[in-house]
Amino acid sequence: MTTLDVLAWVCVRERRLLVVRTRGRDAWYLPGGKREAGESDAAALSREVREELGVQLDQASLSPCCVVEDVSHGLAVQMQVHMACYFADASGAPAPQAEIEALHWLAAAEAGQCAPAARQVVLRLRADGLID
């Protein structure tokens, strides 16, 4: 099975997790995406979040949250997702841009509405007492 290597921004505010939904998809995902050739995690994640939500990540504030692996969701060909997740400070108010149709501040009870890898992150954050 092919592995999809992605990065994700973990943004928690008021004990809720920021998630996004892309056009044509039926599940919530964490903001982020794939690296372009030669990009560092910080540069790629900053670029993806800026493109998707119009906010600027403070690359110096990036800190690891977790790495999760699970099956992909909503793709024509199922793949294994390897997702490195980071906390980071940001400037600006998140708003849907590019392929993002909607954003939502998710409670842990809504984990079942997430893609499998994002669901794992939600459950870890709840276990760590970061979201309700």
Q: Where are the domains of the chain?
A: 3-127
Residue 1 confidence class, pLDDT cut points 50, 70, 90: confident
Instruction: Name the class of domain 3-127.
Output: alpha beta
Single out the residue of 16, 99, 6, 93 nearest to residue 44, CA to CA. 6
128: which 2 tokens? 């760590």
- CA 57, 60, 63, 69 dihedral sign is positive
Rounded to two decimals, what is the model's pTM?
0.95
pLDDT one-digit tens code per residue, 76-132: 778 899 999 999 999 999 999 999 999 999 999 999 999 999 999 999 999 999 999
